[in-house]
Homo-oligomer: A and B are copies of this chain.
Amino acid sequence: MFESAEIGHSIPKARYKREEPKLREALLDAQFRLLQKPDFPVLILVGGVDGAGKGETVNLFNEWMDPRHIRTEAFESGDGTDSGRPLMWPFWRSLPRKGNVGMFFGSWYTRPIVDRAEGRSKKSAFAEDLERIRHFERMLVAEGVLLLKLWFHLSKDAQHKRLKKLGSDSLTAWRVTPRDWQRFRNYDRYARVSAETLRETSTGEAPWHVIDGSDSHYRALTAGNLLLDAMRRRLDGPAPPLSPAAPPPVPSLDGRDLLNTLDHGKRLSPARYEKQLEKAQARVAMLTREKRIRDRSLVCVFEGMDAAGKGSTIRRITRALDARFYRVVPIAAPSDEERAQPYLWRFWRNLPRHGHATIFDRSWYGRVLVERVEGFCAEVDWMRAYHEINEFEEQMVESGAIVLKFWLSITAEEQLKRFREREKVAYKRHKITQEDWRNRKKWPKYERAVCDMIERTSTVHAPWNLVPANDKKFARVMVLQTIADAIEEKL
């Protein structure tokens, strides 16, 4: 991996002085073109050996381009481990928006490499970390992020000389910390782990570029040209080809599916409803006030056709909760800040920290429901979403979240009944619009999308709960009982 970075690259000063101004102007021009037409963000990951010029390169990029549209973030190996949220959370929150350049100094690679090199993580955990990174980067690239991964390398000898030189100069001594020397003593181990990391995560869509860091001119021009080339290809070239996707799932030949075989006849009498609802609410009330919930979080997702009763069911839950414990997040059209980010971004930003709950009224499943049916995204985009969503939910669960997903299932006849009722009752009239009637015409398409969704995203860590909801009373009690059971089991 590092072989060609140890053969001693260098560029004479005269050549640097000749080429640097041209490179600078070209980069500034590319940045300006991106700003004028903010179709994608640029994300540069900067990793490598201490003293190999990572900081210098980041500063140089900021100098060459307009720093007003660059955001540099520095991450430590411990970042993300104590947020009470998934490990990726700090990175999710720091992604540059379309049109901007983000530079991550240290990144999602830092913790896995350090943990492995320091012997804190096992081979299998390390392999899982890398697998997760591959998935995440594939998703970023598919979402349009221009991802450039730069690794600055120094041989053991070269690093030794460099740290000594930096440390002996009073102007730079502050930059060499005891931790740097400690890592140097483990040079071989870090080199081995880094090489494996780079090899395992140099994918077709997001390869690493290893740069010899010993000569400042060589490393600056190399890094700059890599960035320029990547930006130009994207700005000049045709849109990146959509990755080939398998054909979408076909409906079963006998017409039986998860929804039409569900028993929609389940009902509860008013008397039993009152009693069971109260009991289930009391259980949820007690459980969410237990001390042990402080190290967990709760994520509830509600999906269902229009008029399935999502809102009223959510209200039955929140009545059992303390208002300080939960937040309800209704998902409507994204804001312009959300539109400038990957589609999961607006859900990432709303994840609860430990000791708290978020209830999503509609969710990231919009990607494989409304966006699929209405054609708001390409087939390859919703096809890849199943896997991305599973990955996302798995990370939530690993961070201590209890993830509960409910599909409130009504029949087409029941929906029609409820629509008509809404039109009749004065204070419900605002709840029915022309769009609801339009959506209703696409019922078969939605039904197919729902069945695919349930089949492909019902995982061990976050299974779907199919709730027959023609009888609202039955549905509400079932949802509350499911929540109580799940918390009881997980605490």
Q: Is the interface of A mostly helix, strand, loop or mixed?
A: helix
Neighbouring B residues of A289 by C-beta, 8 Å:
174
CA A255 to CA B58, docked complex, whole Å: 49
CA A361 to CA B67, docked complex, whole Å: 11
Neighbouring B residues of A324 by C-beta, 8 Å:
55, 58, 72-74, 105
Q: Are B32 and A62 in contact (CB under 8 A)?
A: no
Q: Are A427 and B327 in contact (CB under 8 A)?
A: no
| Contact residues, A57-72 vs B (CB, 8 A) | 58-59, 61-63, 66-72
Neighbouring B residues of A319 by C-beta, 8 Å:
59, 63
Q: Are A68 and B322 in contact (CB under 8 A)?
A: no
Q: Which residue of B55, B68, B337 is within 8 Å of A361 (Cβ)?
A: B68
Chain B residue with Cβ nearest A321: B59
CA A419 to CA B455, docked complex, whole Å: 62
Known: A311-B66, A322-B59. A71 touches B327 (CB 8 A): yes
Neighbouring B residues of A314 by C-beta, 8 Å:
67-68
- Interface flag for A315 (CB, 8 Å): yes
| Contact residues, A304-331 vs B (CB, 8 A) | 311, 314-315, 318-319, 322-324, 327-330
CB proximity of A20 to chain B, nearest CB, Å: 14
Interface centre among A61, A70, A315 (most CB of B within 10 A): A315
Known: A315-B67, A318-B67. A323 touches B62 (CB 8 A): yes
- Interface flag for A39 (CB, 8 Å): no
- Interface flag for A421 (CB, 8 Å): no
- Interface flag for A29 (CB, 8 Å): yes
Chain B residue with Cβ nearest A310: B68
- Interface flag for A284 (CB, 8 Å): no
Known: A29-B427, A67-B328. A72 touches B105 (CB 8 A): no
Chain B residue with Cβ nearest A73: B324
- Interface flag for A413 (CB, 8 Å): no
Chain B residue with Cβ nearest A103: B323
CA A114 to CA B59, docked complex, whole Å: 46
CA A63 to CA B316, docked complex, whole Å: 9
Neighbouring B residues of A59 by C-beta, 8 Å:
319, 322-323
Q: Are B323 and A55 in contact (CB under 8 A)?
A: yes
CB proximity of A421 to chain B, nearest CB, Å: 17
Q: Are B427 and A25 in contact (CB under 8 A)?
A: yes
In the assembly, how many copies of this chain are there? 2
Q: Which residue of B67, B105, B311 is within 8 Å of A68 (Cβ)?
A: B311
Q: Are A68 and B32 in contact (CB under 8 A)?
A: no
Neighbouring B residues of A174 by C-beta, 8 Å:
289
- Interface flag for A182 (CB, 8 Å): no
Kindly supply a per-residue 1/0 record for chain A positions 285-311, scoring 1 wherever the CB is within 8 Å of any chain B CB and 0 otherwise.
Answer: 010010000000000000000000001
Q: Are A105 and B25 in contact (CB under 8 A)?
A: no
CB proximity of A36 to chain B, nearest CB, Å: 8
Interface centre among A55, A324, A327 (most CB of B within 10 A): A324
- Interface flag for A252 (CB, 8 Å): no
CB proximity of A82 to chain B, nearest CB, Å: 15
Chain B residue with Cβ nearest A291: B174
Neighbouring B residues of A103 by C-beta, 8 Å:
323
Q: Are B72 and A323 in contact (CB under 8 A)?
A: yes
CA A211 to CA B55, docked complex, whole Å: 59
| Contact residues, A80-124 vs B (CB, 8 A) | 103, 105
- Interface flag for A430 (CB, 8 Å): yes
CA A28 to CA B58, docked complex, whole Å: 53
Neighbouring B residues of A58 by C-beta, 8 Å:
323-324
Question: Which A residues form the contact surface with B (CB < 8 A)?
Answer: 25, 28-29, 32, 36, 55, 58-59, 61-63, 66-74, 103, 105, 171, 174, 286, 289, 311, 314-315, 318-319, 322-324, 327-330, 335-337, 361, 427, 430
Q: List 9 A-B contacts (CB under 8 A).
A: A29-B427, A55-B323, A58-B324, A59-B323, A62-B323, A67-B315, A68-B328, A68-B330, A71-B327
Apart from A68-B329, A335-B335, 17 more pairs, CB < 8 Å: A29-B427, A32-B430, A36-B430, A55-B323, A61-B323, A62-B318, A67-B314, A68-B311, A68-B328, A68-B361, A71-B327, A72-B324, A72-B327, A73-B324, A171-B286, A335-B336, A336-B336
Closest 8 CB pairs of A and B: A72-B323, A74-B324, A68-B330, A68-B328, A58-B323, A67-B318, A67-B328, A62-B323
